[in-house]
Amino acid sequence: MKIGTPKEIAEGENRVAMTPDSAKALQKLGYDCLVEAGAGVKAGFADSVYEEAGVTVVDGAEALWAQADVIAKVRIPTTEELERLTPEKTLITFFNPGGNTEGLELAKAKGANVIAMEMVPRISRAQKMDALSSMANIAGYRAVIEAGNNFGRFFTGQVTAAGKVPPAKVLVVGAGVAGLAAIGTSTSLGAITYAFDVRPEVAEQVESMGAEFVYLDFEEEQVDGAATGGYAAVSSPEFREAQLAKFRELAPEVDIVITTALIPNREAPKLWLADMVAAMKPGSVIVDLAAERGGNVEGTVKDEKVVTENGVTIVGYTDFPSRMATQSSTLYATNIRHMMTDLTPGKTDGQVVHNMEDDVIRGATVAYQGEITFPPPPPKTK
Ligand code: NAD
C-alpha cells in the first residue's frame, strides 16, 4: 500500500506529517511513501532529501490524495480535502472530532476510515503515538523561549564586573505536559521557578525538576486529579478565591508568567486577572498557552502579542509547535509512524489491518466503513 503526505494548506502551518526518517521506517513496514512536492520545505525537509530517503515526490495535492491509500497530515482537513476520500482510504490527522460534525458526516458519507490523532487514548501503551503530548511538550518549551525573547534581562542570576544581576522569577500555572516542559526549560535556563496546579499530585514532579510548588492556604484538600482520570476538574468558588489571592500576592514578584491551565471540554479558566497584570513590573512577560481556548489571562489576544499600559507583554500565540516545525514534524511523524506500526500487524507487508478490537485504534478512529465512531467507548486497558 501507499502512504502519502500532502502539503499543509492552513495559513501559517509549517509542519509536515512525514519526514525523510519516518518514511524510511514506514518503508520497513512495507509501505511505498509519497509526499507532495514542497510539503516539507517549511519544516526544513527539501524534496531532494525525501527522494534520497526513497520517497516519491508527487506534484499537486490532488494527485497525492488520489494515489495514496493512507493519507497522513497534520491539520484538520478542509472540506475540499475530505471530498477526495474514498471507501478504500485511511486518513490519519488531527481532526477535532468533538467540534467537527460536518467533517465527521463527510467522512461517513465518503466511507473512509479516519483516525484522529488527538483521540489516541492516554494509556501507557499509546504514549508513543500521543501527538497531543508531543505538541504540548514543544509548546511548553517554546513558551519559555518566547518569554525570554520578549524579556529584557537574563534568566539566570550573574555576578559580573559591571554589577550583580538577580535571577528572573518565573511562575508556571498548570503543570500538565506543556507546563512541565516549561518548568524544565525555565529551571535549566537558571530562573527561580514556581509552579501551581490544582492537582496536588504533581507537586513532587515539579519539585524534582528544581521548581517550587506553590501551596495555597486552604483548609480543604485540593481535588486529587487521580480521581478524574489525571485531568483537572472545575475548582470550587472557595478554592478559586484562595488561588486568586495567592496569585495576587505573587504578581508584583514574578517577572514571567506562563499559563497552561486547561479543563477538558471547557473554556480555559481565567486565572490571571487584569489587576494581577496591572500589578506586575514593567518589562514582565506573560505567555498564555491557553489562548486557543479563550486564555487564562485577562488581556490575552489570540494569535497576537500585546503590551499593556504598564509595560507588560502578553503573548497569545497559538502556533508554538508550528514555530518549531522541524522538531514538531519530527515528533509528530514519529507518532504517526508508531500508529502505522500498530495498524500493520504483518510488520513488513505494507498492509493496513484496521483492528477495531484494539483499544488504541478503536479510541482514535472517528469514522469507519461509513459510520461515525466518535465518541469511542472507554479503553479496557491502562
Ligand atoms: P491539560 O492540557 O488538560 O491541562 C493542563 C494543566 O492545567 C493540568 O495539569 C491541569 O491540572 C491544570 N489546571 C486546570 N485547571 C487549573 C487551575 N485552575 N489552576 C492551575 N492549574 C490548572 O493537561 P495535560 O497536559 O493534557 O495532562 C493532563 C493529565 O494527563 C496529566 O495527569 C498527565 O500526566 C496525563 N497524561 C497522561 C498521558 C499518558 O498516560 N499517556 C499522556 C499525557 C498526559
Sequential DSSP letters for 227-282: GGTTS--PPPHHHHHHHHHHHHHHTTT-SEEEE----TTSPPPP-B-HHHHHHSPT
Looking at 22, 50, 84, 130, which residue is catalytic? 130
Reported confidence tier of residue 264, pLDDT bands at 50, 70, 90:
confident
Counting residues of the chain whose pLDDT is more than 70, the rounded percentage is 96
Whether 67 sits among the annotated catalytic residues: the reply is no
Question: Could you read off the pLDDT of 273-289 as tens digits, one per residue?
Answer: 999 999 999 999 999 99
Residue-level pLDDT at 235: 82
Grid cell locating 44: 526544513
Give the distance, in angstroms, between the CA of residue 91 and the centroid of all CA atoms in the same chain. 20
C-alpha 320 to ligand 1 mean position (Å): 18
User: Which residue's C-alpha comes closest to atom 2 of ligand 1?
Assistant: 262
> Looking at ligand 1, which atom is closest to the CA of residue 262?
4
Q: Which letter does DSSP use for residue 310 in this model?
A: T
The set of residues, in sequence order, having a beta carbon less than 8 Å from that of 127 and lying 6+ positions away, is: 133
pLDDT for the residue 200: 87
Residue with CA nearest ligand 1 atom 3? 262
Which residue in the list 22, 133, 222, 284 is annotated as catalytic?
133
Measured CA distances, 249 to 155, 217, 243, 252, 271 (Å): 21, 12, 10, 7, 13
List residues near ligand 1 (CB under 6 A). 122, 124, 127, 130, 133, 136, 173-179, 196-199, 225, 230-232, 235, 260-264, 269, 271
Q: For a ligand 1 pocket test, name from 263, 339, 359, 360 the mutation site with the most ligand atoms within 8 angstroms of its C-beta.
A: 263
For residues 22, 23, 24 and 27, what is the CA-based torsion angle, rounded to 10 degrees? 130
DSSP annotation of 56 = E
For atom 9 of ligand 1, the residue with the nearest CA is 176
How does strand 305-307 pair with strand 313-315? antiparallel
Residue type, 270: K
pLDDT tens digits for 68-87?
999 999 999 999 999 999 99
pLDDT digits (tens, 9 = 90+) for 95-123: 999 999 999 999 999 999 999 999 999 99
pLDDT at 236: 86
Q: Are 336 and 345 within 8 A, CB to CB?
A: no
Contact of 17 with 329, CB cutoff 8 Å:
yes
* C-alpha of residue 230 to centroid of ligand 1, in Å: 7
- Give the pLDDT band of residue 227 (cuts 50, 70, 90): low
Q: Which residues contact 170 (CB under 8 A, 6 or more apart)?
A: 144, 147, 155, 186, 191, 192, 193, 194, 254, 255, 256, 257, 258
Q: What is the reported pLDDT for 378?
A: 83
Residue 151: pLDDT above 60? yes
> Known catalytic residue: 21?
no
Active site residue 122: yes
As a whole number of angstroms, the distance between CA 21 and CA 207 comes to 36
Amino acid at 107: A
Say how many Å lie between the CA of residue 231 and the centre of ligand 1.
5
Q: What is the pTM of this model?
A: 0.95
Pocket test for ligand 1, best of 171, 231, 382 (most atoms within 8 A of CB): 231
For residue 112, the CA-to-ligand 1 centroid distance in Å is: 32
- Measured in angstroms, how far is the CA atom of residue 125 from the centroid of ligand 1? 18
Classified as helix, coil or strand, 354 is: coil
| Nearest-CA residue for atom 38 of ligand 1 | 122
- Looking at residue 316, its pLDDT comes to 98
Q: Residue 161 Cα, ligand 1 centroid: separation in angstroms?
A: 44
**Burial label, 212 (beta-carbon count in 10 A; 0-12, 13-18, 19+):** middle
The DSSP bridge pattern shows strands 256-259 and 169-173 to be parallel
pLDDT of residue 218: 73
C-alpha–C-alpha distance, residues 188 and 155, integer Å: 9
DSSP character for 313? Answer: E
User: What was the ipTM of the complex prediction?
Assistant: 0.94
133 is catalytic: yes
Of the listed 48, 158, 231, 369, which one is catalytic?
Answer: 231
Q: How many CB atoms lie within 10 A of CB 324?
A: 21
Q: Which of 212, 192, 190 is nearest to 203 (CA)?
A: 212
C-alpha dihedral sign at 150, 156, 157, 159: negative
CA of 207 to the centre of ligand 1 (A): 17
3-state SS of the chain: helix, strand, coil percent to 5?
40, 15, 45
